[in-house]
Structure 1
Amino acid sequence: MGARPSFPVVGPGFARRTRARSGRRRAVREGRLRGVAVRSGRRRLLFADESEASVRDLAAMMLTISDNTATDLLAARAGLDRVAATLAELGLAGTVIPCTLREMLDAVGREAGLAGWAELAAAPDMGERLRGPLRAIHTIRTTPADMARLLRLIWRGEAGPEEACAAVRELMARQVTRQRLAMGFPHDVRVAAKSGSLFGVVRNEIGVVRLPDGRRYAAAVFTRAERPYVNEHAINAAIGAAAAAAVQALRGEC
């Protein structure tokens, strides 16, 4: 009695023991990833106990559930300068990642008149504060054309080593969110996608649509709502409808 439980956390490449400590913020300390409730928009992802995660597992969290902290940890591991160099090598001139997601979110919070992101996320008038012209929202940015190009490179095995490209393709097929691009297609169409949302205003999704005949199409649909968290289902459906219409046009069916 009174002893804190320990348990093994196993990820690809390692198996270690760590002690459970609930209620701590997640951070990197001595190679460990501590637990925190990660908030993305109005969605809260719980990772409450101290634990350890491999780089591969962080990539899975980033691509399947859009975990912002996992994304920032991977960016720190790679280095933002290296990320920028890779974007340039791949010809993605419209994609800019000058800072971490947390830094961008904190900048938005300060621009909205608060101390940072945590205060903005807890503010009862968050929606009203976000309706102003917030320049920090555009700090990290890309274009649909860049994302379509990136998808082509990944699916052709040209964005990096084929093993890495294959891993990204597999993880995108496991994305939890299925109510955007996939909504525009019947169940026999396979969609591997990555969604993106910001403050209930920006709602995007990119992905590769594979039809039953084996043909594949890269799709990137970006939207911006007039008000946060309004008509979310309709916007999601519109993303799927736009992708389906584009595929039909490319196939000469309309």
Structure 2
Amino acid sequence: MAGPNWTVPGLDAAWCAAPVLADSLSGRLVEQPVSPASVLKLPIALAAEAAIAAGDVDGMARVTLRPEHRTSGPVGMSLMADPVEMSVRDLVVPMLTISDNVATDALLKVVGVDRINSFTTALGLPLTAVTGDLAMTLDGVARDCGFSGYPQLAAHDPAVDGPPSESDLRAAIYMSAALDPGRGWRTTPAEMVALLRSVWRDEAAAPDVCARVRSLLGRQLTRNRIASGFGPGWAVAAKSGGLLGVVRNEVGVITAPDGESFAVAIFTRRQPDATPDPARTDAAIGRLARELVESLRRAR
């Protein structure tokens, strides 16, 4: 089933959708590698929770996150002035609910990139991979733009500081390694739908691990993407992702009032000459999610 057409000027998109408990599928470019951004915090959370459940990682171990070592980000612990201490298992909470970059990099350090990639490979997701932590990713973007690190890029104001101009920065960011799924973090729409279905079926890990991840996804604070397409009575558990105005994504499971659930993964990429419009992109993601679910329900 091909599903809806994408008709948003300036935005490219790839998506996949499927019922959690049935085999029909709707999608476009479902096997195309895409830049997931924070969507990959979902498999990071699963791998971390599975390692804790297996006794390989101490979930109660305390982690101190000092300001000088914290990863940049628009929300959460990156904004705090003082050291923060929490348990390893509690790091999963801000990572999934507010997409906290500091918590993510702390978990990547504790669990290890290799273990996370081995986890996704074992689940049959060979095209899903984390290539490093977020601090390295952001600094890599900055270097591709001619800066020594991400703080320098974030502080640059072309109107005050001169070149590179805003348009030059957009072009450099668009072409950066971090936003190239051949070199940076990557996945495919089909693999994210497969992962979501396995979490909702208790197949991705032990049932208690899957249940905890489902619960946290249901508490994500971002509600203006997939969730915007659904009204009262519908439940949405999701993980959003976006990076530097180029990619804007979300994956999640939508449960209808009658209890039927659908896994949806939508990835968008702004074309190089298009002006970022986050609100329009979010609304388009919500509309597309609704159309995909309605199409799948009609095809039953």
TM-score bracket for the superposition, by shorter chain length: 0.7 to 0.9
Q: Residues 228 and 75 of structure 1: is their aligned pair in 2 closer, same or farther, counting only changes over 3 Å?
A: farther
Q: Structure 1 residue 71 and structure 2 residue 116: aligned?
A: no
The corresponding residue for 1:28 is none
The corresponding residue for 1:130 is 170
Q: Residues 83 and 13 of structure 1: is their aligned pair in 2 closer, same or farther, counting only changes over 3 Å?
A: closer
Task: Give the fraction of aligned pairs with identical amino acids, expressed as a percent.
Answer: 43
- Are the aligned partners of 2:75 and 2:98 in contact in 1 as well (CA < 8 Å)? no
Structure 1 residue ranges (4+ consecutive) displaced by more than 6 angstroms after TM superposition: none
What does the per-residue CA deviation read over 1:145-197, in whole Å, with 9 as the maximum and x for residues that have no partner? 11111101111111111111111000000001100000111121000000001
The corresponding residue for 2:126 is 93
- Are the aligned partners of 2:225 and 2:282 in contact in 1 as well (CA < 8 Å)? yes
Quick one: distance in 2 between partners of 1:118 and 1:228? 25
Q: 2:284 aligns with which of 238, 242, 254?
A: 238
Q: Please, which runs of 5 or more residues in structure 1 have no aligned partner?
A: 1-11, 17-30
Q: 2:90 aligns with which of 57, 60, 66?
A: 57
- Higher relative contact order at CA 8 Å, sep ≥6: structure 1 or structure 2? 2
The corresponding residue for 1:187 is 232
- Are the aligned partners of 1:175 and 1:192 in contact in 2 as well (CA < 8 Å)? yes
Shift of the alpha carbon at 1:245? 0.5
Shift of the alpha carbon at 1:35? 4.1
- Are the aligned partners of 1:181 and 1:240 in contact in 2 as well (CA < 8 Å)? yes
Q: 2:192 aligns with which of 147, 153, 159?
A: 147
Quick one: distance in 2 between partners of 1:59 and 1:178? 19
Shift of the alpha carbon at 1:39? 3.9
Quick one: distance in 2 between partners of 1:156 and 1:176? 24
The corresponding residue for 1:105 is 138
The residue type paired with residue 98 of structure 1 is T
Q: Structure 1 residue 32 and structure 2 residue 64: aligned?
A: yes
Query: TM-score normalized by structure 2?
Result: 0.70
Shift of the alpha carbon at 1:56? 2.1
Shift of the alpha carbon at 1:230? 2.3
Q: 1:170 aligns with which of 215, 227, 231?
A: 215
- Are the aligned partners of 1:193 and 1:207 in contact in 2 as well (CA < 8 Å)? yes
Q: Specify the SS of the correspondent of 2:228.
A: helix
Q: Specify the SS of the correspondent of 2:86.
A: coil
The corresponding residue for 2:270 is 225
Quick one: distance in 2 between partners of 1:127 and 1:137? 18
The corresponding residue for 1:120 is 153
What does the per-residue CA deviation read over 1:219-254, in whole Å, with 9 as the maximum and x for residues that have no partner? 111111236872211110100111110101101179
Quick one: distance in 1 between partners of 2:71 and 2:285? 26
Q: Residues 228 and 105 of structure 1: is their aligned pair in 2 closer, same or farther, counting only changes over 3 Å?
A: farther
Q: Residues 101 and 229 of structure 1: is their aligned pair in 2 closer, same or farther, counting only changes over 3 Å?
A: farther
Query: Which has a greater percent of helix?
Result: 2
What does the per-residue CA deviation read over 1:111-135, in whole Å, with 9 as the maximum and x for residues that have no partner? 1111011111111248431323222
Query: TM-score normalized by structure 1?
Result: 0.82
The corresponding residue for 1:250 is 296
Say how many residue pairs are matched. Answer: 226
Q: Specify the SS of the correspondent of 1:176.
A: coil
Shift of the alpha carbon at 1:57? 1.6
Quick one: distance in 2 between partners of 1:253 and 1:94? 29
Q: Please, which runs of 5 or more residues in structure 2 have no aligned partner?
A: 1-58, 159-164
Shift of the alpha carbon at 1:54? 1.1
Quick one: distance in 2 between partners of 1:229 and 1:63? 28
The corresponding residue for 1:211 is 256
